[in-house]
Amino acid sequence: MLSEMRIISATPAQPLSDHVYWMAYYDSFDADDTGFRMMSEGTVDILIPLEGQTEITACASNQGLVAVSEPALVGPQQSYRVYDTSKCTRSLGIVFSAGGAARFLGPQLDTLTDSIAPAVDVLGPGIRALHQRLLEESDPTRMFAVVQAYLRARFDPELPHAQEIDYAVSAIRRGQTDGRSLVSFAEKTIGFSHKHFVELFKRSVGLTPRRYQQIIRFNRMLEYSRQSPGVPWTRIATTFGYADPSHLAKDFHRLAGMTPGEYHRAPWTHRQVLSEAASAAAEPAVGA
């Protein structure tokens, strides 16, 4: 269970840390673990099993359950996914920020939306060499150093229009576009036509700006509800701009696969796991 599982997370050094949320090493899973649910945040994930296999179910995908025993790339998801770890004892994950993966994969994220693909199909044979190198290591700190070297070799600091998309992603995450027309934001703040902005955003993030904005609002609401468990959902719905509780319930069904009432009773989520692990023992960033 969670109390028996070891999670060690780290962030790479600059400039990678602007585009990679974290690297995390997991071990001591056992057959009684039910796994975890990961809400969409517009991220791209690389999952590298080190012992056993993980089964992933992506709600918005038509692939159904995917069993992963080799490195897999989980593209930007429009809804939640569930990781069943009952058959996996060790793994390593890399989570790129929204738009961050384009610096390493190129601006093709719209072709990976809602997909779970063999990482070698997207990243080439270098990911197999990384997998083999990680299998030879037992120290998580060394593993993180190996991963960071791999990411540095793939990093493109001059990706066209990346700064504009990074700015847009940051503005949406900070709520600067709430209650504002995304057409106006694109034209007056970034200087792109709305059509050009949507096209570039989809290629770099894998989601439309509007869908990403909806997902971020939903995640901000979840964070608020965790910090304020006594506040009724009707008030939370109003606070976060939902017309009524039924619209909130629809977003919960689409993005979380449960009702608001079920959320606080649900099996632990990946974000909660990392938060609890960080509070138990914070890991420093991995140096260059």
Asked whether residue 60 carries a pLDDT value surpassing 90, the answer given is no
* Full set of structural domains in the chain with CATH: 2-157 (2.60.120.10), 162-263 (1.10.10.60)
pTM higher than 0.75, yes or no?
yes
Tokens of residue 217, six digits? 């609002």
Contacts (Cβ under 8 Å, ≥6 apart) of 137: 143, 146
For residue 270, the model assigns a pLDDT of 47
Please provide the DSSP assignment of 56-70 as one string: EEETT-SS-EEEESS
d(CA 10, CA 17): 10
Positive or negative torsion for Cα 271, 274, 278, 283: negative
Q: Which residue has the tokens 């894998």?
A: 206
Please provide the DSSP assignment of 155-197 as one string: --TT-TTHHHHHHHHHHHHTTTTTTS-HHHIIIIII---HHHH
Give 272-283 pLDDT, tens digit per residue. 444 444 433 334
For residue 5, the model assigns a pLDDT of 64
Q: Which residue has the tokens 């974290």?
A: 22
For residue 33, the model assigns a pLDDT of 62
